[in-house]
Amino acid sequence: MLAAALLFAAGIGAVQADNLNLNGEFLYTTTDGKVTLKDTGRETSSNLSRFDQRYNLDISKEIYPYLTIAGGSYYELDKSVSTNEGQEFDIRDERVQPFIDLNLNNPMYQAGVSYRNSTLNEDITDLPTNRSSRDQYTAVMGMNSTELLPKWNFSFTRLDTTSNPVTLNQEADTYNFSAQYDFWRQLTVDYEYTLNDTKDFLRDSETKDQTHFGHIDYAKNFLDDRLSLNTGYRIRYNTFDISNNATTEEPLLRFAGLSSQDNTPEDGPALASTQTLIDGNTTASTGLDLGLGGDESTLTNIGLDFGFPTDVDQIQLWVDRRLSTAIANAFTWSVYSSPDNLDGSTWTLVASVAQAPFGTFDNRFEIRFPAVHTRFIKVVTRPLLPATPDASQYANIFVTEMEAFITKTSEQSAQNTTTVYHNYNLNLQSRLGKQTIVGYNLLHSRQTQDPLQAERTMLTNDVFMNHIFNSTYSSSANVQRTDNNNSYQQTSVDYSYGASLRAAWLATLNQALTYSGRSVFEDQNATQDSVFLRTNAILYKGWSMFLDLGYGWDKLADGTRDTSKMLRSGTSLTPSEKLTLNSSYSYKLIEPSEPDTESQVETQYDIQGFFLLFPNLSLFAKMNVVERSQRSDTFQNYSINWSPFPQGDLQFSFLYSEVLRPETDQIERVIGPSARWTIGRHILMNVYFTQSETEDTIQKSESRSMNMDVKLLF
């Protein structure tokens, strides 16, 4: 019925619309499973069959120069029948999302209004029907900058959310105003104001989160570009009001976003800066992929730096698409905290969260855990495995944003909290001739919070130098001091220092010798020092390798001393354009000074190859082995891809994958063929068959699954 209505609307709209997009998708899945308990041999069987329908219609038309109207709707109906030990459950999920937009967009002004509705009906055997609905009203206006006037934008959004049975009845208003003014090319002034006002009619409570944020940046070169100056000042003024009977999540100030791909989340290396995690955009990808396109052999670490230690008990992780319940529940989240983010840092496990709730209307995971006081926090998970039901529909799941909160009630804190954050940075860099560069960095941060009368400050001074001796030798050095103070009379001084010498012996051979260290002076002092030598060589055309040697010595805060030794080597070989081979080996030994403490040894092997037998037939294989004390973890992956026709309209593939998951102590194996067929310009069909097996110390699970996906594009 709905499909016919959409086709009828599309037929009418095609006559007058400037743009019309109509697509449909049909998915059928059937899965048979068996679970065997190892101690008793008892077997439990289950069956699942599911049929999903999805339709999407978008129509737009320019009704006047620069004035466009657009509308459409998304409809999804999921029906499934599951049987477990003879007991049958019927589940019916229906989602409807109509919208209409009116936008004015000319070279000078922008304005628009829109309405969106999202309604979800859930019906499960022997349970009452749940209905959730959200109405979103949005108005925007703005103007581009001129020589005399700044660029500015204003937006208002209202979200009315209800449910039946009545468990949710909220109204949330968001006001946002921003302005940017470029006085000169070197000077930029920005200001932004945001007000979030949320009313909970069930609890008769209200919270208001109000933020003023401004910053000034100045950059200029002097003395024929021999001296450069970059400086900026930022201030954030935030008030958070809680009504007498409210319980709410107070958002935390995020200083930096961080991420890494690493299988040892308890220690380094340091997470890299990923500022797109905190840019406020919940739809744009950060490049972190939790779908099948991610590396399931490596854990994904996603973190935040709060700038100062603070209390946190909830992380909200946004992704770029809606996830089914089976996919959302497949992820396990390990939460870690650390006082710093260095190569030698120690991360403490706070909690492991399985099946974190996924938003009904928002594409985000809500990861809750016991409150922890920390400056750095991260969540660690493994990308989606092929054995997961419905995994074939999620080639990519990109992380878009990461937010942090602390749960507060009016009884636990003052009803009105004010936080002021100041940040000033200065960068000076001078070129002393053609071969030497020296520089100085200053960073000062100050945060105050009332009525707690709490104050924290951080002052960082950094001096660096780069020098080129000749065509063979070059060097660099830096020294950094950070002073931390707070109103509780807790102070610390942190020194970081390092130097490196690089040598380009030949066009095909170079080396780098690096020394780095850190000393922390507070109640108990600690130091970390290391020396690292890297060698890169091109042995032949298409054949390269590297060799790393490292030695470190640490004095911990408790007075103990540890030494570490590291060796890492790897090679890449491309004997022809059809064959590529890569392999690596690493060895790490940590020897503590305590006589009763065992040494820690980790050895890792990695090898992978890609072979293009023919233009339409390719093979891929990868194996990774990590050996630790009394433990060995292995990952294997093999795949074959064949396209029998030159245009690639029909593609076949075969996959075998094996993963040992140390975080859950499970072995997972999946094997199966798949086919992809492009039937003309408007029809695309995918068929997958997988046989998977999961085993741990308690039970063994086996399943067979067939998935068919047909997409219609017009």
- Asked if residues 530 and 512 have their Cβ atoms less than 8 Å apart, the reply is no
- CATH label of the domain that carries residue 265: 2.60.120.260
129, part of any domain? no
- Asked if residues 159 and 171 have their Cβ atoms less than 8 Å apart, the reply is yes
User: pLDDT tens digits, residue range 125-155?
Assistant: 878 888 999 999 999 999 987 777 789 999 9
Of 237, 192, 233, 193, the residue nearest 215 (C-alpha): 233
Please report the pLDDT score of residue 35 as a whole number: 87
686, part of any domain? yes
Please report the pLDDT score of residue 660 as a whole number: 66
Residue with tokens 């935040």: 304
Residue 412 has pLDDT above 60, yes or no: no
SS3 326: helix
Kind of pairing, strands 151-164 and 169-182? antiparallel
Please report the pLDDT score of residue 2 as a whole number: 46
How high does pLDDT run on average in the chain?
87
Residue with tokens 């998304």: 74
Out of 89, 115, 150, pick the residue that ends a domain: 89
Please report the pLDDT score of residue 237 as a whole number: 94
501, part of any domain? no
Range of the domain at 290: 259-409
Angle (nearest 5°) at CA 320 between 315 and 324: 85
697, part of any domain? yes
240 vs 416: CA distance, rounded Å: 6
Of all residues in the chain, the percent with pLDDT exceeding 70 is 93
DSSP string for 686-706? EEEEEEEEEE-SSEEEEEEEE
Out of 45, 72, 89, pick the residue that ends a domain: 89
338, part of any domain? yes
144 vs 217: CA distance, rounded Å: 20
> In total, how many domains does the chain have?
3
Please report the pLDDT score of residue 15 as a whole number: 46
Mean pLDDT of 686-707: 85
Per-residue pLDDT band for 357 (boundaries 50, 70, 90) equals very high
User: pLDDT tens digits, residue range 641-671?
Assistant: 898 877 778 889 888 887 766 555 677 788 8
Out of 39, 63, 89, pick the residue that ends a domain: 89
User: pLDDT tens digits, residue range 459-499?
Assistant: 999 999 999 999 999 999 999 998 888 766 668 888 889 99
Residue 404 has pLDDT above 80, yes or no: yes
Of 346, 368, 301, 421, the residue nearest 663 (C-alpha): 301
382 vs 393: CA distance, rounded Å: 17
Per-residue pLDDT band for 407 (boundaries 50, 70, 90) equals confident
352, part of any domain? yes
Residues 6+ apart with CB under 8 A from 712: 23, 24, 25, 682, 683
Residues 6+ apart with CB under 8 A from 467: 435, 436, 437, 474, 475, 476
122 vs 55: CA distance, rounded Å: 18
Mean pLDDT of 632-648: 81
Residue 266 has pLDDT above 60, yes or no: yes
39, part of any domain? yes
Residue 472 is given by DSSP the state S
513, part of any domain? no
Residue 11 has pLDDT above 80, yes or no: no
Residue 549 has pLDDT above 90, yes or no: yes
User: pLDDT tens digits, residue range 78-126?
Assistant: 998 988 877 888 889 999 999 999 999 988 899 999 999 999 998 988 7
